[in-house]
Structure 1
Amino acid sequence: MRLAAEHVEWRVHGHRLLDDVSLTVASGETFGLVGPNGSGKTTLLRVLAGLRRPKVGRVLAAGRPMRAMKPHEIARAIAFVEQQADTLDRLEVRQAVALGRTPFLSPLRPWSARDDAIVTQALTDVDMLPLADRLWHTLSGGERQRVHIARALAQQPSALLLDEPTNHLDIRHQLSILRLVRQLPVTVVIALHDLDQAMDCDRIGIMDGGRLVAIGPPREVLTLDRLRRTFGVHADFLDDAVEGRQVLRFRHAL
């Protein structure tokens, strides 16, 4: 599904968090959002997910203005994994993931064996099936994050939006989650802190002060000058013979 933002602005108490942001993410593309803390990445993701409706500009999903879509229509098409989310309910892991099927249920379309199978597959994909009967409050931070991703997968969305999904994950699960995301036949917009991880995206957008200051293939926009000006670091590109790609090495810009 093609996602687009056109001249989007978002303000809170007069403070502009997004400033005339326009971008188009092609169907099936993996698009990375990078930038310093407070640059607007999370706000932009929430706007693209339909959780915030900008007063200036608009968002389109598959060419359709999101303002014209009902909440359940958006939920069927777009899944959003927040950086942190919690609940006080005594939910089991399988119940939490099953919430991803809610947009598809109705009195005329009750829970079915197919929904069970979708939830089981989502738990398997994030390596949480062995913990399916555990209570939410007994999970570690990394385990909870994997449950959030499984819930999003259970929605079977056309577009998957993730806000720093590797936070709290150990390195093994970081790699497995990112590999899974890259393999999904959906449009992906993913906010990342790790610029090496961003190098694997089809394209990236660099946010700075609420503006989208650069957009394009990672190697073209993550220039040494851009890294210094936006992130305040010096960097070198090194060839990784094992991975067969370039990686970044950083040092402080004095």
Structure 2
Amino acid sequence: MRLSAEKLAWSVHGTPLLTDVNLTVEPGQTFGLVGPNGSGKTSLLRLLAGLNKPKAGRVLIDHQPMHTLKQRAIAQSIALVEQQADTTDRITVHQVASLGRTPFLSALRPWSKEDDAIVAQALHDVDMAHMTDRLWHTLSGGERQRVHIARALAQQPKILLLDEPTNHLDIRHQLSILELVRQLPITVMISLHDLNHAMECDRIGVMDGGRLIDSGLPQEALTAARLRQTFGVYAHVVDDPIDGKQIMRFRSEV
């Protein structure tokens, strides 16, 4: 499923947070979103998910304007994993992941064995199947993040939006979650702080000051000049001695 933004703008109390953002993520593509803190990545993802309405511009799903779609139809197509999503309710891991099935349930379509299987698979995929009965408040930050990702996977979206999903995760689960996301046969936009993780994406968009200032193949968007100007770091690319992939090394000064 194709996801597009046309001249998106967003502001809060008169302060612009996004200005004139244009981008397209093609079906099946993994699009990495990078930028300094406060550059507008989270605001953009919330607009693309339909949680906020743009002050100007529009979001399109397969060429259809999002504002013409019902919320249920949007929820059946797009899942968002936010940085912080919490609850004070005493609910279990299984109950949280099961929320992903909500857009598909109705009086005519109650919970079924198929839903059980989908939720079980989602928890297995994020290595949380062994904690299915654990209460939410007993989980670590990393465990909660993995359950949120399971909830999004249980939603079986055609478009998956992730806002820094590797926050709070140990390195093993960072790598396994990113590998899982790359293998999904759906359209993905993922906000990342680790630029080497972003290098694994099909395309990258660079945010700064509420604007999408560059996009393209990772090697095209994350140039040495761009890294100095946007992130304030110096970098050079080296070949990984193990697998030959290109990785970046950084320093704060020459």
User: Is 2:114 the counterpart of 1:93?
Assistant: no
Name the structure 2 match of 1:218: 218
- Structure 2 distance, partners of 1:80, 1:221, is 25
Counterpart amino acid of residue 173 in structure 1: H
Instruction: Give the alignment's TM-score, normalised by structure 2.
Output: 0.99
The residue type paired with residue 213 of structure 1 is I
1:209 equivalent to 2:209? Answer: yes
1:138 lines up with 2:138 in the alignment: yes
Partner of 2:51: 51
Please tell me the residue identity of whatever aligns with 1:88.
Answer: T
**1:32 & 1:86 partners in 2: Cα distance?**
25
Q: What CA distance in whole angstroms lies between the structure 1 residues aligned with 2:80 and 2:222?
A: 26
Read off the aligned partner of 2:161 and give its amino acid letter: L
| C-alpha RMSD over aligned residues | 0.7
Q: CA deviation at 1:253?
A: 3.4
What does 1:67-86 correspond to in 2, within 5 Å?
A: 67-86=67-86
Q: Identify which range, 159-168 or 242-251, moves more after superposition.
A: 242-251
Deviation at 1:55, TM superposition (A): 2.3
Task: Give secondary structure in 1 for the equivalent of 2:207.
Answer: strand
State the partner residue of 2:112: 112
Partner Cα separation in structure 2 for residue 182 and residue 242 of structure 1: 20
**Following the alignment from structure 1 to structure 2, what is the Cα–Cα distance between the partners of residues 3 and 230?**
26
Task: Tell me the SS of whatever aligns to 1:250.
Answer: strand
- Partners of 2:251 and 2:14 in 1: how far apart? 36
Q: CA shift at 1:157, angstroms?
A: 0.2
Superposition deviation, residue 15 in structure 1? 1.0
One-letter amino acid of the structure 2 residue matched with residue 74 of structure 1:
I
Match of 1:37, SS state, is coil
Runs of 4+ in 1 over 3 A off after TM superposition: none
Measure, in 2, the Cα distance between the counterparts of 1:243 and 1:41.
Answer: 31
The match for 1:192 is 192
In structure 2, how many angstroms separate the alpha carbons of the residues matched to 1:182 and 1:231?
25
One-letter amino acid of the counterpart of residue 185, structure 1:
P
Runs (5+) with no aligned partner, structure 1: none
Which residues in structure 2 correspond to 1:13-28 (within 5 Å)? 13-28=13-28
Please give the secondary structure, in 1, of the residue aligned with 2:16: strand
Q: How many residues align?
A: 254
Q: Is the CA contact (8 Å cut-off) linking 1:228 and 1:253 kept in structure 2?
A: no
Asked if 1:179 is matched to 2:182, the reply is no
Question: Residue 162 of structure 1 aligns with which residue?
Answer: 162
Letter in 1 for 2:142: G
1:62 to partner: Cα distance: 1.2
Deviations 1:65-95 (A, max 9, x none): 0000111111000000001110011110001
Q: Does 1:242 align with 2:242?
A: yes
Structure 1 residue 244, shift from structure 2 partner: 2.2
> 8 Å contact 1:205–1:212 — kept in the other structure?
yes
Q: Please, which runs of 5 or more residues in structure 2 have no aligned partner? A: none
Q: How far apart are the structure 1 equivalents of 2:236 and 2:243? A: 17
CA distance in 2, matches of 1:147, 1:5: 29
Aligned amino acid, residue 172 of structure 1: R
Alpha-carbon distance between aligned partners in 1 of 2:158 and 2:221, rounded to the nearest angstrom: 27
